[in-house]
Amino acid sequence: MRRYERLVAAVVLASLVGGALLAERAGPRQRAELSPGEARSTTWICPHGGGGGWTGTIAVANPGPRPVQARISGLGPSGDVRPQAFSVAGGTQVLRPMDASDRGSASVVEVFGGGPGGAWQISAGGQDRGLGVEPCTPSGGTQWYATGMPTTEGERSFLIVTNPFGSTAIVDVTLVSPDAPPVRDPGLTDVSVAPGRSVALSVSDVLPGKASTAAVVQTSTGRIAVGALVVTDGGGVRSTVAGTSLAPTWVLPAGGGAGRSTLSVGVLEDQVVRFSAVLRSDNDPQPAGGLVEVRQVPLSAATYPVIIAAASSVDVLAGSPVVVALSAEGQGIDDAATSGVMSPAPSWLVVPTTLEEPWFPGLVVANPSEEDVVVALRLIPEEGEGTLKTTTLTVGAGQVAAVPAGFLAQAPRASVLVQASGPVVALGASTSTGRLGVAFYALAVGLPVPAWALPA
Amino acid sequence: LAAGTGDWAVGPGRVPAAWAVVDSTATGRFRVLWIVDDDGASFPAPGGDPDGLVEAGDASLRFALTDRSGVLAVDIGRPLVGPGADALRASLAEIVSGTTTHGGALLAPFGIRYVVADESRLAGSARVALDAQTDLDLVPSSGLLIWRSGSALPLAGVAATTPAEDRLVISTRRGDIQRLPALATAPLRRVPGGWDGTSEGGSRVLMSTEFDGAWQVVGDTRQPERAFGWATSFRTEASDVSIRYGAQLPRTIAVWLLAGFWAAALWITRKPVRR
């Protein structure tokens, strides 16, 4: 081999070895982190139920500064209604009538370009009277939990099972009660819910005569969303959304009622649960209903009476995960219920809980933390209602405060954006309709608002 | 070799049984999006090798796009490039970023009916993001994660669109494209040189083919429009629709010329055999 050929070979070999050593030392290129996408959208499922002569309204509120696009679809046992698409200007809400003429009626709200979402109001008609308000749920799931469903005489309880997705869901329901083994009725097993359908499953028909029931609703295939609807003969509608998780701690604010309430606790796992309940108001916290280290047996549902103040919160602290609900007696014929929240947050969007005049809009803010919080409140009215005043209030550590009535009276059917300096829970609690404005009573916990959806 | 002879078989190291069941029940022509962690390995059969990358830190994904048959021998050495590939990468990035719940609508312009992943080779965050999509439904399967899109468009078809939906079709913003509802679309049939079919009352032709002004609707002089920023679309009132590519002859001549140059080069550089 000539000298230059040996030199070239040596240079090539040295380059290969050197390059390999450098590459090994440098390691693989670090992948860049993903930036937040430009295509923001959320989907809210509203398993509100209904009945013959009932009417429904979906509230879509936009707390952000820019307009968003929304699309609402109605679902029922026989299929969906053609979607309605519309815009929601920044800082406003839209109240859209929706079909609630069937016991299994439901709706789906899709929001594009912003957040957070929607909530439902259902007003009973025909032989039924009452108002149910609840925020829609942002997710479908394969397992849901609900409680607060009595089946004693005069009380009819239903599970509203909604499938807005593209594949059939096969649903199984297990019911528990205070004094009997869990029930898996053939009529609530392998229930097929077709895509775009929503059905009502009667709990009262399967487990009659119970002061309370709790349910595990799960799918062997497909996804669903679940709500609980209780209709009382002679007047009264309670409407709540089920949850996808059990939890050991719950916050259940309340207000605006007659003072008597019932805490429902569902133990849906095969273990004894000990729990306590704390009543918070504008005074020092105290045991709620005397509930201290209460023992509840596995796979059971039970109810506990609790007297609540005008603005209060019942905090449940359990040794193991449970599902809860709080139903409160109204000052008129109607009752109200909430399934509470697992954890506080700094920002909430509370939808209107009034129906029609005369009305007494109410909103309570619960502060379960150990420090005072300052809360800023802004009304989110329908477009064209003009500029409305904002306000702030301070909620003491461990206390609950009611928002001043005069602030809410500016727009009684407006949503309210609640922004706090610390984690809180906000809930709408209003009465409306009837001669004295107390015939209908509704409770609805707010929708947590992520930071990116807030106005600058 | 198996791809070239069309001889995939179910079993260990071959086509997973889950995919075989899905493939046998699905009708029509569609595309499949294969996704996997950025681990350097191939997809389960018949996905082949990854073509693209979505950078998302530790949750980075590699992806490939095939038709329902999976990767073919002719796909070897053919990279996924161009504005369509860029749009697909951006749409997949939107989905895994977790900010949208309408991933099926974002993937619809590509004719994607299924998204497939190996259950053991997909980052948890990507799995969560895909499960959260309203219009992607998990198909019951074992070993594979298979999501079916409820918004899938055919590879070519005629859709009955409203004016609002037309504005979404011609938009380039993914924030608009995600609002695309499940369109009632009459699929067109693939024929040599293009597509044929009936409009069934629709008036918006959609083709998941990169925009090229040479596409034409036979009997209509209107120029194609760019759809979704990269694809091809037409307005038509015809009940019978035929779409042909008008610049095939120059391409055919160019390919034959290239083949001739290669043959000449090989002949010129040949080495005589030593005897």
Closest residue of chain A to B58, computed from CA coordinates: A31
Asked whether the beta carbons of residue A164 and residue B181 sit closer than 8 angstroms, the reply is no
Closest residue of chain A to B126, computed from CA coordinates: A34
Q: Does A386 touch chain B (CB under 8 A)?
A: no
CB B219 within 8 Å of CB B194: no
CB within 8 Å of chain B, chain A residues 259-318: none
Nearest neighbour of A39 by CB, restricted to B106, B135, B148: B106
For chain B, give the mean pLDDT: 86
Peptide bond into A186 cis (omega under 30): no
Which pair of structure tokens corresponds to residue B256? 């034959």
CB A313 within 8 Å of CB A363: no
Spatial CA neighbour of A53 closest among A102, A4, A121, A120: A102
Closest residue of chain A to B179, computed from CA coordinates: A112
Can you give the pLDDT at residue A42? 93
Model confidence at B8, pLDDT cuts 50, 70, 90, reads very low
Can you give the pLDDT at residue B74? 63
Mean pLDDT computed over A252-275:
95
Can you give the pLDDT at residue B275? 65
Can you give the pLDDT at residue B95? 94
The DSSP symbol for A327 reads: E
pLDDT digits (tens, 9 = 90+) for A165-183: 999 999 999 999 998 999 9
Mean pLDDT computed over A409-421:
96
pLDDT digits (tens, 9 = 90+) for A12-37: 999 999 999 988 888 767 777 777 77
Beta strand segments in A281-362, E: 286-287, 294-296, 300-307, 311-329, 335-338, 345-350, 359-360
Can you give the pLDDT at residue A1? 58
CA atoms of A147 and A353, how far apart (whole Å): 22
Interface test with A, best of B179, B180, B183 (most A CBs within 10 A): B179
Can you give the pLDDT at residue A423? 97
Can you give the pLDDT at residue A451? 84
Asked whether the beta carbons of residue B100 and residue A43 sit closer than 8 angstroms, the reply is no
Nearest-10 crossing angle of helices B124-131, B83-97: 90
Q: Does A40 touch chain B (CB under 8 A)?
A: yes
Nearest neighbour of B99 by CB, restricted to A40, A83, A223: A40
Interface test with B, best of A29, A35, A41 (most B CBs within 10 A): A41
Model confidence at B17, pLDDT cuts 50, 70, 90, reads low
Interface test with A, best of B178, B180, B183, B228 (most A CBs within 10 A): B178
Q: Does A221 touch chain B (CB under 8 A)?
A: yes
Mean pLDDT computed over B179-203:
93
pLDDT at residue B6 greater than cutoff 70:
no
pLDDT at residue B174 greater than cutoff 50:
yes
CA atoms of A356 and A393, how far apart (whole Å): 27
Q: Does A69 touch chain B (CB under 8 A)?
A: yes
Q: What percent of chain A has pLDDT over 70?
A: 98
Least-confidence region, from A117-121, A279-283, B271-275: B271-275
Interface test with B, best of A40, A68, A75 (most B CBs within 10 A): A40
pLDDT at residue A436 greater than cutoff 60:
yes
Which pair of structure tokens corresponds to residue A292? 């201290």
Residues of A in contact with B178 (CB under 8 A): 39, 41, 112
CB within 8 Å of chain A, chain B residues 168-207: 173-175, 177-179, 181
pLDDT at residue B76 greater than cutoff 70:
no
Number of A/B CB contacts below 8 angstroms equals 90
CA atoms of B167 and B245, how far apart (whole Å): 25
Nearest neighbour of B100 by CB, restricted to A41, A164, A195: A41
Least-confidence region, from A274-283, B69-78, B137-146, B221-230: B69-78
CA atoms of A447 and A449, how far apart (whole Å): 6
Can you give the pLDDT at residue B4? 38
Q: Does A24 touch chain B (CB under 8 A)?
A: no
Q: What percent of chain B has pLDDT over 70?
A: 87
Q: Regarding predicted confidence, which is higher, B20 or A106?
A: A106
Interface test with A, best of B100, B128, B168 (most A CBs within 10 A): B100
Q: Regarding predicted confidence, which is higher, B77 or A221?
A: A221
Q: Does B66 touch chain A (CB under 8 A)?
A: no
Can you give the pLDDT at residue B78? 67
Interface test with A, best of B134, B136, B166, B167 (most A CBs within 10 A): B134
Least-confidence region, from A2-6, A146-150, B142-146: A2-6
ipTM: 0.89
Peptide bond into A116 cis (omega under 30): yes
For every residue of B14-68, which 3-state class applies, written as one string? CECHHHHHHHHHCCCCCEEEEEEECCCCCCCCCCCCCCEEECECECCEEEEEEEC
Can you give the pLDDT at residue A326? 97
Asked whether the beta carbons of residue A166 and residue B148 sit closer than 8 angstroms, the reply is yes
pLDDT digits (tens, 9 = 90+) for A51-80: 999 999 999 999 998 999 999 999 987 766
Smallest CA–CA separation between B166 and chain A, in Å? 14
Q: What percent of chain A has pLDDT over 90?
A: 84
Closest residue of chain B to A35, computed from CA coordinates: B97
Smallest CA–CA separation between B131 and chain A, in Å? 9
pLDDT at residue B71 greater than cutoff 80:
no
Mean pLDDT computed over B70-84:
71
Residues of A in contact with B173 (CB under 8 A): 38
Q: Hey, how many other C-beta atoms are within 10 angstroms of the C-beta on A444?
A: 29
User: Phi, psi at residue A303, to the nearest 5°?
Assistant: -125, 150
For chain A, give the mean pLDDT: 93
CB A326 within 8 Å of CB A251: no
Evaluate the CA torsion angle A27, A29, A35, A37 in order and state its sign.
negative
Can you give the pLDDT at residue B91? 95
Can you give the pLDDT at residue B2? 36
pLDDT at residue B47 greater than cutoff 50:
yes
pLDDT at residue B3 greater than cutoff 50:
no
CB within 8 Å of chain A, chain B residues 151-170: 164
Can you give the pLDDT at residue A214? 97
Residues of B in contact with A36 (CB under 8 A): 97, 99
Model confidence at B205, pLDDT cuts 50, 70, 90, reads very high
Q: Does B60 touch chain A (CB under 8 A)?
A: yes
Asked whether the beta carbons of residue A167 and residue B148 sit closer than 8 angstroms, the reply is yes
Can you give the pLDDT at residue A428? 97
Can you give the pLDDT at residue B21? 64
Nearest neighbour of A37 by CB, restricted to B58, B100, B134: B100
Residues of B in contact with A164 (CB under 8 A): 134
The structure's pTM equals 0.90
CB A337 within 8 Å of CB A148: yes
Q: Regarding predicted confidence, which is higher, A46 or B220?
A: A46
Mean pLDDT computed over B101-130:
93
Smallest CA–CA separation between A139 and chain B, in Å? 7
Can you give the pLDDT at residue A285? 92
Can you give the pLDDT at residue A241? 96
Smallest CA–CA separation between B122 and chain A, in Å? 16
- Which residues are paired to A157 by β-bridges? A230
